[in-house]
Amino acid sequence: MNEQALKDLLYKIADDQLIIGHRNSEWNGLGPILEEDIAFCSMAQDKIGQSLQFYKLLEELGEKDPDAIAFTRNAPSFHNSQLVELPIGDYEFSLMRHFLFDHAEFIRFEMLSRSSYPPLSEIAHKLKGEIKYHIMHANAWIQQLGNSTDEAVKRLQSALNMAFPYALGVFEESKFEGDLIQDGIFEGEHKLRSKWFEDIDKILAKTDLILPDLAAESAHLGGRYGEHTEHLQPLLDEMSEVFNIDPSAEW
């Protein structure tokens, strides 16, 4: 087993979850209706709790402890996709990002539940059950709003057009892709992306929204290799503000 390949995979999953979790939590107190406020905060709690499990696996593989990994790295050391670091924007953008991201994440965990690395497959199996609720939530709102007023459709369509190239960046291949597939650890980003496209197409076909052409779009890549938008570092600074006042404090 290529341990470096495994660590790279764990880092990108954990970082995606930590960052989308913090972005989701920004809806605390701002949701358009109370149920949505609660939904985004619950998903935030799920994602941050899930990221911890992956950071723990990394710790077992010799990396630093979860708090240190989560709160003491700067943007170039983060492996999350650029999609998750973008600001929350208006509700329609956060909803669309949640829809695109969680469908990918669900398939990822489904694949990883078959991983040849047991500590990973055990956690992935657990998480796919939890992410089902995230998908259920996203699908319900996308279908409801995607079939409603002209304004709702127009807003969601422009959110989709904007988010789509970033969503493709989620599937940026790692330099260890071949090793991961060969060792049976992960079936690969390419396979994941095809399944994802089928799944989101099925839901969007039930709405007035038009899915951008996969072949015509170019992905916003780089996130998996530490290249980020200007939005990530300010978020990390905010997340670690209290921690950095006294990093050696006992909590």
Partner 1 sequence: MVTKAEILHWLEEVKDPEIPMLSLIDLGVIRNVEITTNTKVKVTMTPTFTGCPAMEVMKQDVIDTLLNYGIDDPEVEINFKERWKSDLINEKGRTALKKFGLAPPPRDTLIVDIDILQHVECPHCESHDTNMKSPFGPTLCRSLHYCNTCKQAFEQFKPIE
Task: Check residue 206 for interaction with partner 1 (CB under 8 A).
Answer: no
Separation CA 26–CA 12 (nearest Å): 22
Work out how close the CB of 182 gets to partner 1 at its nearest, in angstroms, rounded to a whole number: 26
The four Cα atoms 4, 166, 235, 173 give a dihedral, to 10 degrees, of 0
Cα 65 to its chain centre, rounded Å, is: 22
Task: For residue 30, state whether it binds partner 1 (rule: CB under 8 A).
Answer: no
Give whichever of 49 and 87 is closer to partner 1, judged by the CB atom: 49
Residues 172-201 that bind partner 1 (CB under 8 A): none
Hey, CA dihedral for 125, 135, 99, 88, is it positive or negative?
negative
Q: Which is nearer to partner 1, 17 or 174 (CB)?
A: 17
Least distance from partner 1 to the Cβ atom of residue 64, Å: 20
Helices 91-112, 34-60: axis angle to 10 degrees equals 40
Q: Quick one: angle between helices 91-112 and 189-204, nearest 10?
A: 130
**Residue 135: its H or E element:** helix 118-145
Tokens (6 digits) for 95 = 């909803």
Residues in 139-178 that interact with partner 1 by CB under 8 A: 139-140
CA distance 101 to 105: 6
**4 binds partner 1 per the rule CB under 8 A:** no
| Choice from 71, 133, 197, 225 touching partner 1 (CB under 8 A) | 133
7, 25, 26, 42: which one binds partner 1 (CB under 8 A) = 42
What does the alpha-carbon distance between residue 16 and residue 124 come to, in Å, rounded to a whole number? 15
- Give the nearer residue to partner 1 in terms of CB position, either 125 or 195: 125
If one asks whether residue 47 binds partner 1 (CB under 8 A), the answer comes out as yes
Q: How many residues bind partner 1 (CB under 8 A)?
A: 26
The residues of the shown chain that bind partner 1, judged by CB under 8 A, are: 35, 38-39, 42-43, 45-50, 52-53, 122-123, 125-127, 129-130, 132-133, 136-137, 139-140
